[in-house]
Structure 1
Amino acid sequence: MVQPYKQRQPGSREQRRADERAAAKQKGAEPIKAATLATPNGHQHSEAFCLMWYACACGHRERIWNSRDGVTPFGFVCPSCKEPKLQHVDWREDSYAPNHQPSSGQRVWVDLTRERARTIAQRTIDQVAKSQQVPAHDFERIVDTVFNNGTAPDLVIWGYVEAS
C-alpha cells in the first residue's frame, strides 16, 4: 500500500529549479547560472541573515541569528539539558534581519575560523582517540574536514570574551 504522507514531495524551489532545467534542455540553452538561483533577498541560502527559532523537548527555546550567507545546523546540543535535542523549529517564523544587532548573550552563527577548527579537531581527537597519538598529517586532515573550506558555521555567544 502506498503511503503518500511518507513519500517525499518536492518543495516549491526544488520544483521551480527542475522546471527551469527542463525548459533549458528543451530550448538547448546553457545550464542555469548560480546567480539566477539566488533567494528573494539576493543570497545563496534562504537562512542567510535570518533570526531563527530553536527549541528543545526540555522546554528551552531561543532565537539565534545567522550572521552569514551559509547553512546552519538543524539541531545541536541544548544549553539547558545538555542533550543533542535543540532543533530549528517554526521555520515560517524565520525573519530576514541583515542589520540585526545581537544583544549581549545572544547566540549567533558566524563563519568558523581555521583556528577554531583546530580547537574543535583537537577536542574531537581527545575524546575519540583518548590514549592514541594522532599523526600530524591526520590532524591537519581532520582540521580541513572541520573547517570545510571556510563554509562551516560556528555558534558563538555575542559579547562573550574568554578570559586569558
Structure 2
Amino acid sequence: MQRKPYAVSMPSSREQRRAEMRAATKQPFTPSAAAMSTRPLTPNGHLHTEAFCLMWYACECGHRERIWNSRDGVTPFGFQCPSCKEPKLRHVNWNLDQYAPKHVPAPGQRVWIDLTRDRALEIARRTVNQVAKGNVPVGTDLNRIADAVYNEGRAPDLVVYGYVEAV
C-alpha cells in the first residue's frame, strides 16, 4: 500500500520517547518547591554544607583570611583579593571549614550575608556605569539587571563587619 504524499506520519513510540528526551535535556533544571522541601539536610540541619561556617580563603599573592558565612546559602568559590586586586582569592582547605552558628565576627572581619534588593540595584548601577561609561539604562533595563544580580534573594553579599559607610 502506498502512502499518500499529504498524509502525516505518526511517530513511533520510540521516536516520541527520543524526541521527548532531547527536549527534556534542553530545558534548564529548576527544582520545584516540592523537590526543594524533600531535599536532604546536612548533619547540622541546613540545606547547604557551608551554612554558618568559618571558611579559609587564600590568594596566590599570599593573602589569607577567614570569612564567616552567616546564612544558609552557597558562597562563591572565588572573588577579588583585597591585597592584589586580582580575582584570585579562592576558598581553600575545605576540610578546615568550621561550623560556627553562634560566631560573633571581630570588627573588620568579612562576612557573607543575604544580598538585599537595594544593594543588588546599587551593584547593577555600578556595573553598568563601569561597562557603559555612564549610559545607564532607564527603568526596566536596570531593574532587569538588578533582578539577575539579586537572584530572588539567594545571592550572597560580602560585607566587612563593624564597617559603616560614611554618607
TM class, shorter-chain normalised?
Answer: 0.7 to 0.9
Check whether the contact 2:69–2:111 (CA below 8 A) recurs between aligned residues: yes
Equivalence for 2:138: 135
Task: Work out whether 1:122 is the aligned partner of 2:157.
Answer: no
Shift of 1:132: 3.1
Considering only CA atoms, is the larger Rg found in Structure 1 or Structure 2? 2
- C-alpha deviations, 1:37-58, integer Å up to 9, x for none? 1111010000000000000000
SS state at 2:102 partner = coil
Q: Which runs of 5+ in 2 are unaligned?
A: 1-33
Counterpart selection for 1:52 from 51, 55, 68 = 55
Distance in structure 2 (CA, Å) of the matches to 1:111 and 1:136: 24
- C-alpha deviations, 1:115-146, integer Å up to 9, x for none? 11111000010011115341311111001111
TM-score, length of structure 2 as denominator length: 0.77
Return structure 1 stretches of 4+ with deviation > 4 angstroms: none
Counterpart of 1:113 in structure 2: which amino acid?
Answer: T
Equivalence for 1:160: 163
Distance in structure 1 (CA, Å) of the matches to 2:145 and 2:39: 35
Compute the RMSD of aligned alpha carbons: 1.5
Counterpart of 1:148 in structure 2: which amino acid?
Answer: N
Shift of 1:112: 0.4
Task: Work out whether 1:151 is the aligned partner of 2:151.
Answer: no
Distance in structure 2 (CA, Å) of the matches to 1:123 and 1:131: 9
Indicate the percent of aligned positions where both proteins have the same amino acid.
Answer: 66
* Alignment coverage as a number of residue pairs: 134
Equivalence for 2:43: 40
Judging changes above 3 Å, is the alpha-carbon distance between structure 1 residues 133 and 63 closer, same or farther for their aligned structure 2 residues? closer
TM-score, length of structure 1 as denominator length: 0.78
Judging changes above 3 Å, is the alpha-carbon distance between structure 1 residues 33 and 70 closer, same or farther for their aligned structure 2 residues? closer
Task: Work out whether 1:68 is the aligned partner of 2:63.
Answer: no
Alignment of 1:104-119 (within 5 A): 104-119=107-122
Check whether the contact 2:110–2:159 (CA below 8 A) recurs between aligned residues: yes
Check whether the contact 2:67–2:112 (CA below 8 A) recurs between aligned residues: yes
- C-alpha deviations, 1:33-89, integer Å up to 9, x for none? 744511110100000000000000000000000000000000000000000000000
